[in-house]
Structure 1
Amino acid sequence: MKLKTIFLLFLAAFVSGCGLFGNGGGETSRTTGWEYNSEETGNIPYLSGYEQEAGPGLVFIQGGTFTMGRVEEDVMYKWDNHPRRVTVASFYMDETEVSNQDYREYVHWLNRVYPGDREKVNSALPDSTVWREELAYNEPYVNNYFRHPAYSDYPVVGVTWEQANAYCSWRTDRVNEKILVERGILQHDNSQSGQNIFTTDAYLAGLYEGTSGENPEELPDGTTRRVKWEDGIMLPNYRLPSEAEWEYAAYGLIGNVDDEVLTDRKIYPWNGAYLREDTRKDKGRLKANFVRGRGDLMGMAGALNDNADITAPVFSYQSNDYGLYCMSGNVNEWVADVYRPLSFLDVEEFQPFRGNVITEPRRDANGDLMRDEYGEIVRDTVADYRNIKDGNAESQIVESGDWNATEDRGTEDMYFKDDRPGYFSSLIDDEVRVYKGGSWKDRPYWLVPGTRRYLEQTRAQSDIGFRCAMTRVGSPEGF
């Protein structure tokens, strides 16, 4: 009996985390033995067991390996989506496309914070004239699609790639501001204006002059301080997904895996090669919003096949195995990548992406961070990899044989552009971005996630919207 008691005591001590000599359940350094987060040892910071929460509107996308690119015949014969096996890290993605209501909230905020700056507000407005056609009566959409409440839950269109990125930045700041307000770290300031606008970067740099709330971050010695990035309180940036992330999420292959064996590849975000539902309830209904055939955008009266003449509400049709809606059809979606026909041959196997532009904050003569008139930190480009291996000097063929002449060569030397009428232009440069997914005005071929198209990042169309993503920090699924 005594031996059993001794054994149980030893086992309890062991299971409790080896606290006799270890890190004391995360409170003591395993390296030096000093206590973390203690006034007596200088408040050495340590946070154990952090688990990221999904930001508003996002769902978790567990990462993994998949074959990116073509899964059927390349009917356009562009040869720009060669199959390649890659790995995508876990991340978060919007459950739906960004809706008109979502985007109106952004415009409303700009109107409230910059009431006298029409240029700032107008720069964010969708281009409603994208609905206008010379030989179609689309004027009602020009006037109503973005503004009328009937379309509140429809995907926003008429936004450029640049506008979509600006929305992502704004959303990051509003979400992080709300986190700090809800925790009592900041008081909500409804009168923000000028340079005193909450941005995540400005707050972390100590440049936002907000008012402390009732529960500021308090150290063990009773003093308070600003929240730091190391505290893990604020979320990473909302951003556009990379092309690889978008394609991986669209397929939703998590439902087609049996112990690391992919049992079925997909052509679309759903299983099978059919475009119609086979369930008893919805049998025969189309699985997405697209053009079935010439002049048939929604079917016949009394039996509308996709029930959408143009776009459809963002929660329409069945979600894929990740819980994402309308990853095929409804609207095409901007992704972050710069377009190149041969990116599939150039990019890395892990987290493939073309479009990295590395920046650093600009500082004045005194070493202080510089901000623009809107309170945003000014950043300078220190490295630009958009044309690496496909447009930079290393990828040029110099017929003269003078290799010194390659120093000043760029994308325009590889991809010829000539805007004169009747002259050839490749339309490819460092400001042309990829969009994917197919739309309400596309044929089924473009519903395949592996297909890709491109457009200048300053242009907008009535069939292009977007959704946001967020990086996951830590392990792919948690330990």
Structure 2
Amino acid sequence: MQRIFTIALVVLIASCSGNQDYKTSSRATGWKMIGRNGGSARGYKNQSNEQITGPGLVFIEGGTFTFGRVQDDPIKDWNNIPNQQHVMSFYMDETEVTNLMYLEYLDWLKRVFPPSDSNYKNIYPSAVPDTLVWRNSLGFNETMVENYLRHPAFAEYPVVGVSWVQAVNFSKWRTDRVNEKLLEEENFTAKNARLQVNGYETFSTDTYLKAPTRTYGGNDSILQGGSRYKGIQKLMEDSTAGRGDIRDIYVQRKDGIFLPDYRLPTEAEWEYAAVSLGGIREYNSERGRKKYPWQGQYTRSGERKTRGDQLANFKQGSGDYGGIAGWSEDGADITAPVAQYAPNDFGLYDMAGNVAEWVADVYRPTVNDDYNDFNYHRGNVYSKDYRHPDRSFEIIKSTSILYDTLPTGNLIPRQFPGEVLQIPVDEQETYLRTNFSTADNRNFLDGDEASKSRKTGDKSMYNSPQHTATVDSTGAMQRGYDKSSSRTTLISDNVRVYKGGSWQDREYWLDPAQRRFLPEYMATSFIGFRCAMSRVGSKSKTKKRSRN
């Protein structure tokens, strides 16, 4: 009996020892993955870490929902016909991007890329919102023209006058600033160095991951100024293996420190987040349909303490932008400060009213759900890194900034200094693939070359006006307004969807399924935006439990 007990004890000890070793060893090979006797000084982590929630974001657990109009359709405009879609989990800004948030972006651009420098003279102006959107030929709105963006009284109001292109550039900037701070907090870079950089030493997440020694313009005092960096460098030098790669002393994607990109939400993500079906879900079915981001069929609260209060900021009738002063009003005549009304079931504010919001998608009247019903999005344009014959990356320099000239005549930088140059994917990436065949997929299966009419030879389903603007050799702007009388549509590959009602919209537009479009280079006084971020890893943050 004692011998059997001894054997069992040995087996138990060996099992415990194996489990302990498993924490630092590969399940594939049994080799140690971390430590100085492993494959490298900094190997892969053997335990998964959950993605942290980035600044300003709220977690949205993905799922299945009815994408499109499920309520009133008095116009019957053959737009956004209901179809079932599945959206992966993601994160979204709790509120719309405010004036204060956007001013932080503008101040950073002005400090790092001063307009007085000839290399940067077009960067800051390209990001400034168009404050003239407040003007009205028969209205006195100069107070908003002069004060709305910069006066502290409007700091927590949603930014407007921002085009889709400007919103995308803000999102990219935000990604790099958040990851730059995370890198410093992990003690890899010199403390507060991010506050002292100039146009030659900017940080780019993508550049750091692919060519870390060229980040911050190759400034070693910043790149190698953190205490953790120095400790890992010494560990590599002392390693008996001596096989470390130079990149192992820099943060890599496998470390899980950097967050995915901030970006505009797709239309499906935005609508899913706005509808927030959790409040009306019973097991795996819906109890009724939701007309608004909140429960119920009315725009006024039915709660005892707030009964009769408006649940959103919208135009209630002709000449009625808020109600009678002092009684049962929505508290705003134009936009309102963010988070003034109750959030929806996901904890998101102002998903109806206040300002409409840009989303990532190119507009089309219908959704091609026969082709895809998972993470639906129209607007993919794929690119890749430009690499020299020696496989080194081409980094944008202060003297090599490329600009796009918008039809309005505004210049928008394609990329900023310090970023890896991006070029369209070519046959090298598309050859013999079945999932995509070209870089630009904005008009995929919708009047593109592959599906054009063989009878008429039309290359596009939509013949929208083609306004142009070019800069001649003298630097003068030459604008060309399309005066053709044969145009039949405003839809093109450069019009983007915006969702949600605004302060100047009637109740009809508060339905999350409603959708409208505007050219991506235009701005208005009633369209703002909020950012989203993809979720990596598990679908849910919590384990599911039985309801019984």
TM-score > 0.5 by shorter chain: yes
2:275 to 251, 265, 284: 251
Q: Give the fraction of aligned pairs with identical amino acids, expressed as a percent.
A: 46
Residue 35 (structure 2) pairs with residue 38 (structure 1): yes
1:26 to 19, 23, 33: 23
Residue 372 (structure 2) pairs with residue 348 (structure 1): yes
Secondary structure at 2:184's aligned position in 1?
helix
One-letter amino acid matched to 2:39: G
Matching of residues 42-441 of structure 1 within 5 Å? 42-43=39-40, 44-115=43-114, 116=116, 117-187=120-190, 188-189=192-193, 190-204=195-209, 205-206=211-212, 207-208=214-215, 209=218, 210-212=222-224, 213-216=226-229, 218=232, 221-223=235-237, 225-345=249-369, 348-372=372-396, 373=398, 374-382=417-425, 383-399=439-455, 410=459, 413-418=460-465, 419-420=482-483, 423-441=486-504
Answer with 33-42 or 58-67: which moved more: 33-42
Secondary structure at 2:227's aligned position in 1?
coil
Q: CA RMSD in A?
A: 2.4
Give the TM-score of the pair, scaled to structure 2. 0.81
Secondary structure at 1:39's aligned position in 2?
coil
The separation in 1 between residues aligned to 2:176 and 2:103, in whole angstroms, is 16
Q: Deviations over 1:384-419 (max 9, x none)?
A: 11110002122222215xxxx6xxx64xx2112244
Q: 1:185 to 1:85 in 2, by over 3 A?
A: same
The separation in 1 between residues aligned to 2:493 and 2:69, in whole angstroms, is 24
8 Å CA contact 1:328–1:439 kept in 2: the answer is yes
2:513 to 426, 443, 450: 450
5+ residue gaps, structure 1, are none
Secondary structure at 2:424's aligned position in 1?
strand
8 Å CA contact 1:153–1:313 kept in 2: the answer is yes
Q: 1:266 to 1:4 in 2, by over 3 A?
A: farther
Length, aligned pairs only: 467
- State the shift of 1:8 in Å: 9.7
One-letter amino acid matched to 2:464: K
Q: Deviations over 1:445-478 (max 9, x none)?
A: 1110011001100000000000000010001014
Q: Deviations over 1:191-217 (max 9, x none)?
A: 312232011112112221333211227
The separation in 2 between residues aligned to 1:11 and 1:241, in whole angstroms, is 53
Q: Deviations over 1:254-288 (max 9, x none)?
A: 22222223223211001111110112222111100
Answer with 351-360 or 278-287: which moved more: 278-287
The separation in 1 between residues aligned to 2:111 and 2:12, in whole angstroms, is 60
- State the shift of 1:253 in Å: 1.0
Q: Deviations over 1:220-256 (max 9, x none)?
A: 9445611111111110000000000000000111222
- State the shift of 1:5 in Å: 7.9
2:432 corresponds in structure 1 to none
